[in-house]
Chains A and B, each alone.
Chain A
Amino acid sequence: MENDLITADCVEATEFPDLVGKYSVYAVPKTVINESTFIEGSMPEKFFLERILAAISPPQGPGDEPDRT
């Protein structure tokens, strides 16, 4: 609701075994971010948001620094 780029699905796991297999859902709740990053369990809003933002921000590890040449 805060940003039109954000969409949220609530998926009943037992009815969609193919997705459960694809994302290796062994326990619920499990949140899948952009089909690639996972958050297991529930947590306070602040931490949940941090995890989401971390998942979508570009990697900043030493090996990922922009090419300076």
Chain B
Amino acid sequence: MSLIQDNDLAEIRKRFEALAAPVKLVHFTQELNLEYGREARQLLQELAAVSAKISLEIFNFLIDREKVAEHKVDKVPATVVRNSKDYGIRFYGLPAGYEFATLLDAMLTVSSGDSGLSNESKEALKQITAPLHLEVFVTPT
């Protein structure tokens, strides 16, 4: 059974027509011992099937340690949203509910290569010289 319903799929397809450049989703799972691991994976597979511009790679958190280290993920399920470049954008957990919309936004943003922030914000952020890590806690509802 599909996780994404048909009418949502039509809407997603419409939004993804705006995908400017390829987007890569790199997903880390650890199927056993995870409440939402399987759903997260299936959701991403359904999403990747919508547009040829979306590619999906799936790795195991316990086995593919090299990829885990490369992408600096420290928990699962984890999804990296990137293009040829890794911008440091990660989704941890099942991107469902409101977070599904956030994931679509992130994919479109990464595809466009433009953060969509104001010029003032962009300038201010360029001045940052030390690592800045933001963790935004959300719930699906």
Q: Do A and B come from one complex?
A: yes
Chain A residues near B (Cβ < 8 Å): 1-16, 19-20, 23, 25, 28-35, 45-46, 49, 52-53, 56
Q: Which size class do B's interface residues fall under?
A: 35 or more
Q: Which residue of B lies closest to A56 (CB)?
A: B132
Q: 4 shortest A-B CB distances, which residue pairs?
A: A12-B93, A7-B88, A15-B93, A2-B125
User: What's the Cα separation between A9 and B95 when bound, in Å?
Assistant: 12
Q: How many A-B residue pairs have CB under 8 A?
A: 139
Report the minimum CB–CB distance from B86 to chain A (whole Å).
9
**Does the CB pair A3–B35 fall under 8 Å?**
no
Report the minimum CB–CB distance from B84 to chain A (whole Å).
13
**Does the CB pair B128–A5 fall under 8 Å?**
yes
Contacts of B5 in A (CB 8 A): none
